[in-house]
Structure 1
Amino acid sequence: MISKVIGLVTRLLDAEKAGVMLFDKEKNELVLQKPAFTSQDDEVINAYRVPFGGEGNAMRVYTTGEPYISNDSVRDSRLLNKFVLMFPAKNTITVPLEVGNRRIGVLHVNDKRNGNFTLQDLEILTFLTSHLAIFIENAILYERENKQANVLNELNAKIIIHQKRLEKMMSIHNQLIEQVLNGEGMLSITKTLANLVESAIVVEDQQYHLVHSTEPIEENNYSVRNLLDQKQDLKSKLRNGQIVKIEPYVYQGEERAFIIAPIGSGRNLMGYLSLIKVLKENSKDLDKVAIKQGAMVLALELMKDKIKFEVESRYRVEFLDDLFSCTLCNAEQIIQRADFFNYDLKQPSRVVLININGSGNWEGTLNDEQDYSDLQKNLVTCSHKLLPTSFVVGKGNTLKLLVPCRGKSKQEELILKLNEIRDQITELHQGKKVAIGVGSECCGPENFQKSYKQAVKTLTIASILGKWNQVVFCEELGVYGLLFEINNSDLLREFVLEKLGPLLEYDQKRNSSLVETLRQYLKTNGSLKDAAEALAIHVGTLKYRIGRIQEILKIDLKQTENHFDLQLAISACRIVKSDL
């Protein structure tokens, strides 16, 4: 537009160059327009500005409306020398650009090819500018409208993109919520989310164990645990409910974005949802919203499962308590409740108690709440996995099981499975002791109370005898089981002191082990060789100790009738040892 005006006036006035200056109301100055004086240099043209009220020919013509001719531009004091030097000119003619009574700028024409500018040139230019000013203003308005139209088009395009994103977000939200309401489970939710965001999805639990993955993934390479080990600051962000993003992240040989959202937060943190996606600038916001929605839905699903598990666990605990206490006198009613849990009370079973405690007291509890929660969860998980047909109830740090068991082969299989559970638990919870007590085989609801009491007794005696990390059946208790049933502990204590009192006192004062020596001697039926091997001492040393025992107790160990009383007293001593 400006170039057309310049071309017209330079042809009509036979001039070499021209320039248009328009008044910028916002900046309150005259501004040279491009192109100007045969120049296209933005930096030079932008420097040609005259503030309103400033000096110079251009501002004077603009403010007064009077045109001006100078045929000696270099020496003319009305012209600003810096602009004359910027665009060298030998002569100049300047006229105002007016639309009606409004001035919109000025027009400079420089360097007439033949001679000087005349009044006739001024008349021609003045006549032209009345029309050119309207043309220029209309062109400016047209260009401004085009710019506004472009801005509106761009804004509309952004609105459409934003609307599509919102629709996509709503679609993600609605589909995920619908799956939760339909009870389709975590696997289905994870797959749906992966399809919606077109990326790999990984779900891990609170202990960073892989729960679900939409692609085959090596757990060790892409676990949140590894990322947290490398970037410690991420742990607190995730615990506070923040979404974290790591990019670029190398996945299967390609650079990807790794976005992690916590499932829950703080003390209610239940796991982690990870999204592994090809880097795309236009999908960043959508990916974050999608993973946030996915984490919320998975938290809802996990909470639903947790509530379901807690309610079912409560019913299971109540049922087992009633079964073991014989609260339900109606056998049919008990069987019906067992059927509800898909367990047949008519099949031969054993009651098994598994207890974990670092202190050695099977009725103790754990102090750390998280340790307690993890312990119970791991106990139940291991038992369900290894004994899938059993009825499992976790209560405190003790697990109660009803295990189908018929015949010797079943018992041997049970021992293997229980040992496997023990190994897994001791590996997961270092430093904890495991005690496993097994009641007698029972069949029919009326017999489970007896098997349970036997399991309790077995577990208690196992802890007294120090049989931690062992599977102990009630049938293995022998005389200990009989002694445990004696309710009068004073009677047992008197019997122990009568038979072993002096020897116990001797051991205590001299920190010796004559009682243990006597136990091994009696256990091997008086065989000096076998007893010495069991005690890891020389036969001569054993003979000396036996002699001292006979002197202290004033008995003759060659008389075998003394053996039974002494063996019974030693067994009773282990039962009532804390009372001595």
Structure 2
Amino acid sequence: MPLTVEEMLQIGDLKDVEVLAGERGLSSRAVKTVVVIDVPNAGQWIRGGEFLLTSGYLFADDEFSFIDLVDSLAQKNAAALGVKIGRFLSKIPDEAISKANKYNFPILKIPTYMNHVDIINPVLSAIINTQYKLLETTETLRNKFLDSILLSKGVEDILNILEEFLNMGIAFVDNILGIRYYSRNSGLKGAIENSYITEIVNKYPNTQITIENRVIGYLIYEKEPSYLTSFADIAIREAQRALLLNYQKMEFAHEVERRHRDVFLKDLLYSKFKKPAEVFLQAKIYGWDPTWKLIVVVIYIDNIHKENFDDNLTNNSRSENEFSLSQKFAAYFPGAILTQIDPHYVALIPVKEEKSFTFLRNKIKELHQIISQSKKIDLVITLSSVKKDLLEAPHAFAECLETFDILRRTEQKPGVYSWCDLGVEKVLCTLKGTEMSQNFWRLILGKLIDRQDESSSFLLQTLEALIINDWQMRPTAEFLHIHYNTLKYRIKKLEEILEIDGLQEGKLRFEVTLAFMLYRLEHSKSLHNWPRSRRV
């Protein structure tokens, strides 16, 4: 930080200098050099930051020139004006005092016994010392931060270094991962740990850290740092640079690892390995213990509802999504590895002996909620059943894909779904697309499905609503927002078209339900965009 006028007046004999005007500018005006101005029109040579000295000789009989000089110096951001009073200039004009106070421009009374050299030498020495100290501090900080990054000490160590220089607790809120980090003595943890980022930024002094127009996080301070130390801005600037370098280092390392990991995971999930030993050998590289059981998790972002899905995501956005997801899964499930197989992400989560499937599912639900809220996106996560080792990963992956396919066809809401929780749909999946399945639903429902008139779609929706409501008529009528008698009429029409003598009989209901479920599994088009007022 530059030497202020206030700090300059603490040097040696300058303590005897009297402040005549502009006292409020002592702490804000910086001294960059010292200049003697016993020449006419001195104001035109000002560049800013000068402490100007005058004997007053030029202004002995021309107080208006002195007033104009004060006005010019103040507006050109000079540091201060030092005047010897008594020898040539008997007093400072009142108008000059008024202007100096208006612009917070210090006018200083230099004792008559003090030579200019007694002022110039110590002040210039102090300026040089301040600049040297500034450079030295910057270099010290830079080296400390660089060592922390090279030795991979982490974000907390960077915050600890900054805490030493600011003498207060610091926090860093990661905007990409949503993780909070704290310095050693930070009192912010209890205050911000469960708060939203916007709330934290609005409440506490902070510094935004960006890279390529992306906000990667915020440095959060317990107090306003500029009030505590003159070197605060240097320390904060170097900490910003260190956090950016640390982020780029992590991102680069993640990218290199990701490329190799993606090849391994895709080969594994698509059963391209010929030797089991090769699978376990490569898995060890990524920290996977061959004795671990596993579940496969597939994450679908904004894809359950196609209208919310952006097919034009940039590479940076996709990379950032994957980096964020990978870090979150690693934090929640140590040992987990993740890859992207468009349009979804696939994670292999180890199931260790002490962790039950229910525990892992609940943790995944917790993570689903955090990601959905922080990113404001629809998120569907499907889980496989527990498999004994990596060799069963392809089967687990297939379970996740099949689960999502069922969810898509039955239009379930975003959430966490497990293959283990599926009911009869899981059994019917084994029949989906087979000749037996197609022959069965065509035999039962073909006459209705093949009809081309407008009423057939309403009747098909009515049939689905009956099945959803367990064939109970009154709840079905309410579900469809139609009159009870209208529903009775539609059921009669269904019986006529399907050539069924009464849909009230249990065996017939079962056959119709089974046929409809098989049909729905093979056709992704929504059937229940329910009408609100139409009548058939």
Q: TM-score, normalised on structure 2? A: 0.63
Flag the 1:520–1:229 CA change in 2: closer, same or farther, 3 A: closer
* In structure 2, C-alpha distance between the alignment counterparts of 1:476 and 1:222, rounded to whole Å: 34
Establish whether residue 575 from structure 1 lines up as the match of residue 521 from structure 2.
yes
Larger RCO (CA under 8 A, 6+ residues apart): 2
2:347 to 378, 401, 404: 401
Identity across the alignment (%):
21
Contact 2:38 2:57 in 1 (8 A): no
* In structure 1, C-alpha distance between the alignment counterparts of 2:62 and 2:450, rounded to whole Å: 114
Q: Secondary structure at the match of 1:156?
A: helix
Establish whether residue 320 from structure 1 lines up as the match of residue 271 from structure 2.
no
Contact 1:348 1:405 in 2 (8 A): yes
* In structure 1, C-alpha distance between the alignment counterparts of 2:170 and 2:62, rounded to whole Å: 60
Establish whether residue 211 from structure 1 lines up as the match of residue 157 from structure 2.
no
Structure 2 counterpart of 1:46, one-letter code: A
Contact 1:435 1:463 in 2 (8 A): no
* In structure 2, C-alpha distance between the alignment counterparts of 1:263 and 1:223, rounded to whole Å: 17
Flag the 1:219–1:394 CA change in 2: closer, same or farther, 3 A: farther
Establish whether residue 468 from structure 1 lines up as the match of residue 438 from structure 2.
no
Q: TM-score, normalised on structure 1? A: 0.59
* In structure 1, C-alpha distance between the alignment counterparts of 2:218 and 2:248, rounded to whole Å: 14
Contact 1:349 1:404 in 2 (8 A): yes
Contact 2:445 2:515 in 1 (8 A): yes
Flag the 1:287–1:416 CA change in 2: closer, same or farther, 3 A: closer
Superposed displacement of residue 304, structure 1: 0.8
1:355 to 288, 300, 313: 300
From the CA coordinates, give the structure whose radius of gyration is larger. Answer: 1
Q: Secondary structure at the match of 1:336?
A: helix
* In structure 1, C-alpha distance between the alignment counterparts of 2:363 and 2:484, rounded to whole Å: 41
Superposed displacement of residue 303, structure 1: 1.0
Establish whether residue 46 from structure 1 lines up as the match of residue 60 from structure 2.
yes
Contact 2:304 2:380 in 1 (8 A): no
Establish whether residue 170 from structure 1 lines up as the match of residue 116 from structure 2.
no
Structure 1 counterpart of 2:126, one-letter code: A
Flag the 1:354–1:288 CA change in 2: closer, same or farther, 3 A: same
Q: Please list the CA deviations of residues 115-167 of structure 1 after superposition, one character each: whole Å capped at 9, or x if unmatched.
A: xxxxxxxxxxxxxxxxxxxxxxxxxxxx9994325412321232223222222
* In structure 2, C-alpha distance between the alignment counterparts of 1:198 and 1:454, rounded to whole Å: 55
Residue in 1 that maps onto 2:249:
304
Flag the 1:381–1:540 CA change in 2: closer, same or farther, 3 A: farther
Residue in 1 that maps onto 2:356:
410
* 1:331-350 equivalences in 2 (<5 Å): 331-350=276-295
Residue in 2 that maps onto 1:99:
none
Structure 1 unpaired stretches of 5+: 1-23, 28-41, 50-142, 231-250, 252-257
Flag the 1:454–1:560 CA change in 2: closer, same or farther, 3 A: same
Deviates more, 1:509-518 or 1:299-308: 509-518
Superposed displacement of residue 425, structure 1: 3.1
Q: Secondary structure at the match of 1:270?
A: strand
* In structure 2, C-alpha distance between the alignment counterparts of 1:145 and 1:328, rounded to whole Å: 89
* In structure 2, C-alpha distance between the alignment counterparts of 1:338 and 1:513, rounded to whole Å: 53
Deviates more, 1:172-181 or 1:338-347: 338-347
Superposed displacement of residue 359, structure 1: 5.5
* 1:367-382 equivalences in 2 (<5 Å): 367-369=312-314, 372=318, 375-376=321-322, 379-382=325-328
Residue in 2 that maps onto 1:433:
378
Structure 2 counterpart of 1:510, one-letter code: S
Flag the 1:287–1:446 CA change in 2: closer, same or farther, 3 A: closer
Flag the 1:445–1:360 CA change in 2: closer, same or farther, 3 A: same
RMSD across aligned positions (CA)? 4.6
Establish whether residue 192 from structure 1 lines up as the match of residue 125 from structure 2.
no
2:275 to 319, 327, 330: 330
Residue in 2 that maps onto 1:92:
none
Contact 1:263 1:270 in 2 (8 A): yes
Q: Secondary structure at the match of 2:213?
A: helix
* In structure 1, C-alpha distance between the alignment counterparts of 2:309 and 2:275, rounded to whole Å: 34
Q: Please list the CA deviations of residues 241-295 of structure 1 after superposition, one character each: whole Å capped at 9, or x if unmatched.
A: xxxxxxxxxx8xxxxxx6x6543443354333456556569x54x3323322221
* In structure 1, C-alpha distance between the alignment counterparts of 2:435 and 2:417, rounded to whole Å: 27
Contact 2:146 2:242 in 1 (8 A): yes
* In structure 2, C-alpha distance between the alignment counterparts of 1:187 and 1:225, rounded to whole Å: 22
* In structure 1, C-alpha distance between the alignment counterparts of 2:210 and 2:235, rounded to whole Å: 15
Flag the 1:554–1:264 CA change in 2: closer, same or farther, 3 A: closer
Q: Secondary structure at the match of 1:354?
A: strand
Establish whether residue 160 from structure 1 lines up as the match of residue 106 from structure 2.
no
Residue in 1 that maps onto 2:236:
291
Flag the 1:314–1:179 CA change in 2: closer, same or farther, 3 A: same
Q: Secondary structure at the match of 2:356?
A: helix
